[in-house]
Structure 1
């Protein structure tokens, strides 16, 4: 068996091939449901045919894989070169549905996506210079919000998936609990090589148990296309509507905020602190991937929080593991039949694993906050208010439904709302006070 080199940083280590494959697949399974959710929601809201929605999903998987490879491996000034799995951002769903149904349609979405992605590339160096406004007080708060905001997603999966006829059925919750317990047992008692893939083991065994219980079946796979390539501008050449572009630029700013939190979180946990240059490189990769998304019939991209949680859970910090996961996504995008196999994993199975992963993200944020001084300053107020603001849309999802679209785009993402609050309050209680002294 190949040995792991000890003379290189753990982020740059190459693991044995078998471990790499299993760990990479684990990352794919952890993010798959979230990865396909955006094209499913947007395509469904626009009344697209099942074939066209399938095309969106395959395009999304393909570009997600390419985006992950760019972010992890990097070239020139693109890519943070950290273990970051990329996928479509949920922050873009509301404005894209509005543009697609009441604006200029799918081509207007893609025009706005291309422009906003190009603007992200241009703004990345400036954003990187703002890193001093993201001390551990802010980043710890944001990372905690990311984890807490994602937990309801895992709970919905555990209950069977939103809209499922059996949502909340005891059998769904029992299966999710079984997967959760299996993750814990493997993590605690299995040999180190196996404990690293505890989530993968739990998902595979959970799916095997779910088949005879009627949660899923793998019939009909023969009807899926074996091979398919997403071609540029499949749905028509992009159109550039000013209102659509403005909406997507707002989304881009939200996405840059979310990505900043994820990059800083992963940099912290893997022991490679992120400076302004590395942050700018990561944001450039997001921008480039978003441009590719607009060209290849998909949507804006960002780092996925659930995979950051998986990195923290497994303590496998190699970026090449996540890059291999990106390669698997490319294969899923090129071979739709493989995507159909993964898509048959029951939602409760993903929910049981998701609770652990998303909770890990929140725990990492709390660990960062443990390094912050809270005596004789306003730091406690910064954390308290930001957590409250960030969790408002999680607690009451429809609270902003009567507000303008631009406002909803920012505030309905608890991550962006909490981050904005943390940055502004940190300025108020720390930076402005320092200037008066």
Structure 2
């Protein structure tokens, strides 16, 4: 690509001077690759961290480098599909696909089910990817009906679920910061100091005036923590000699297994994450100066969520976790002024190349747990705060307070006292043992049956830029094109998407 702008690009409308390259412009190689690298930088940690956490918690050590490589590889494929728009699949926006944090708790729960009955590492992976492959079709079907759920999935429901996602994962981040699951010296001062260094670095850099430093805060914090751990003898590269030079993607390398009990909670999350995707696509449309009403917008929402589902199925096929559209990359568009979807092709190429070389995953696997915990503690907290922001926008009147209180109480109660379900049948125990699942069911049922006495804002008066924290603003069944879900925002970048 040699042209700096396409000759047929429309003239920017008023107020659009902050964009150097609009959606359909074609930047020259230099600005395109520079913008792409910043997108990769912003999303890299979010893409690989869920795999690192699951590999660590489930004891999948020998497989982690390959799994990290596949996470990067399928993120590249998914990013290409989302931006290119293959048939009806893909939003056609500059979006980056990555591994979703939203599935962590339910995937870990499924892994423990297999591990608890004596399953090997390969059996755990076979079951996880088999379940995720099947559950992805729930989102594929859901994408065609997302505009019909106004009375069921509202901001108070979505905010509660997202808040539960973050709160239920904070224990994972704190355990890693203290040394990691199974560490004989859990809570040792040198673990806390290392994790505290990473956390403090991210906080300090996030408060500086430089946007580049804020954008790179997590990467810099992890790099600093890793360097200190290496200098103090906590990192050894001896195992690197056994890592192959190239990872060859193999569909269902570990086989294909299915477990219905573990399937249900994962399928439920596949009904939740599309709401965040719709919000992120709306944010992207606003930043890219694209319409947020009408047939074009509605098609982008449906096609973008459809791409999420299809990409998650492909991810499971190539031995990776479910994917979703990342939100932090919208900030990169604002920073660079580059909204061209052609940049996504460069992003996809970089991610695929990173995925083909497992040395990247092997190095990241050596990262001490306190280093990772110092970053993930903030990330998971940010997820919870995002849910709180949505709830505040929804309005905490008496009805909503009741929904949130009961749903959080049930979700966190089950997480803190799992014995409460000990007398239930195994099927119900595993379904409702997930704080996300029981909290989601509670919020949806209460929201549906409790009468809403508040007055809804008329759809014609909806201003998406004035409601940046509301995930879904419903549309009537007769007027699909007025669906206007709005994005989550976070002052901390980069942060994981529920991703």
TM range (shorter): 0.7 to 0.9
Change (3 A) 1:264 1:406: farther
2:198 to 179, 194, 206: 179
Matched, 1:338 2:363: no
Matched, 1:208 2:227: yes
Q: Secondary structure at the match of 1:338?
A: helix
Q: 1:356 to 1:322 in 2, by over 3 A?
A: farther
Change (3 A) 1:261 1:309: farther
2:47 aligned with 1:28, yes or no? no
Q: CA deviation at 1:229?
A: 0.6
Q: Is the 8 A contact 1:183 1:199 kept in 2?
A: yes
Alpha carbons of structure 1 residues 226 and 92: separation in structure 2 relative to 1, 3 Å: same
1:365 alignment partner, one of 369, 387, 407: 387
Deviations 1:251-295 (A, max 9, x none): 453122331353255457667579875554344334323432453
**Could you report, residue by residue, the CA deviation over 1:218-262 in whole angstroms, capped at 9, with x for unpaired residues?**
3432321111212234445x57xxxx3644652453122331353
Does the 8 Å CA contact 1:87/1:302 hold for their aligned counterparts?
yes
What residue number does 1:86 align with?
Answer: 99
1:352 aligns with 374
- Going from structure 1 to structure 2, the CA distance change for 1:34 and 1:116 (only over 3 Å counts) comes to closer
Closer/same/farther in 2, CA of residues 195 and 132 from structure 1, 3 Å limit: same
Summarize the alignment of residues 110-129 of structure 1 with structure 2, pairs less than 5 Å apart.
113-129=132-148
- CA deviation string 1:121-172 (max 9, x = no partner): 2343134422442222222222222222222222122112212233211111
Q: Distance in 1 between matches of 2:251 and 2:278?
A: 33
Tell me the CA shift for residue 427 of structure 1: 1.2
TM-score normalised by L of structure 1: 0.77
> How many angstroms apart in 2 are the aligned matches of 1:388 and 1:324?
45
Residue 19 of structure 1 and its aligned partner are, at CA, apart by 5.6
Structure 2 CA distance for aligned equivalents of residues 161 and 247 of structure 1: 28
1:391 aligned partner: 412
Q: For residues 397 and 269 of structure 1, what CA distance do their matches in structure 2 show?
A: 38
Q: Map 1:171-320; keep pairs closer than 5 Å.
A: 171-235=190-254, 238=256, 244=258, 246-247=260-261, 249-264=263-278, 266=280, 272=286, 280-296=302-318, 298=319, 301-303=322-324, 308=327
Identify if the C-alpha distance between structure 1 residues 34 and 201 changes in structure 2 by more than 3 Å, giving closer, same or farther. Answer: same
SS in 2 for 1:85: strand
What secondary structure does 2:450 align onto?
helix
The 3 A distance-change label for structure 1 pair 40 and 180 is: closer
Residues 294-320 of structure 1: CA distance to partner in whole angstroms, max 9, x if unpaired?
533x2551439xx65797899869797
Deviations 1:27-62 (A, max 9, x none): 222442322444566675xxxxx7666555544543
Tell me what 1:47 maps to: none
Q: C-alpha distance in 1, partners of 2:37/2:345?
A: 10
Q: Are 1:124 and 1:283, in contact at CA under 8 Å, matched by a contact in 2?
A: yes
Cα separation, 1, equivalents of 2:280 and 2:316: 27
Contact residue 40 and residue 351 of structure 2 kept, 8 A: no
Q: Indicate the residue corresponding to 2:74 in structure 1.
A: 63
* Count of equivalent residues: 419
Does the 8 Å CA contact 1:35/1:87 hold for their aligned counterparts? no
1:75 alignment partner in structure 2? 86
Per-residue deviation, residues 295-349 of structure 1 (Å, max 9, x unmatched): 33x2551439xx6579789986979799877655533431111211222222212
**Alpha-carbon distance in structure 2 between the residues aligned to 1:420 and 1:35:** 27
Q: Assess, with a 3 A threshold, how the Cα gap between structure 1 residues 53 and 33 changes in structure 2: closer, same or farther.
A: closer
Of the three residues 418, 428, 440, the one matched with 1:407 is 428
Do 1:382 and 1:426's aligned partners in 2 also have CA atoms closer than 8 Å? yes
The separation in 2 between residues aligned to 1:11 and 1:153, in whole angstroms, is 39
Q: 1:95 to 1:366 in 2, by over 3 A?
A: closer
Unaligned 5+ runs, structure 1: 45-49
Gaps of 5+ in 2: 6-15, 287-291, 456-499
Is 2:171 the counterpart of 1:152? yes
Measured at CA, do residues 278 and 322 of structure 1 come closer, stay the same or move farther in structure 2, by a change above 3 Å? same
Normalising by structure 2, report the TM-score.
Answer: 0.69
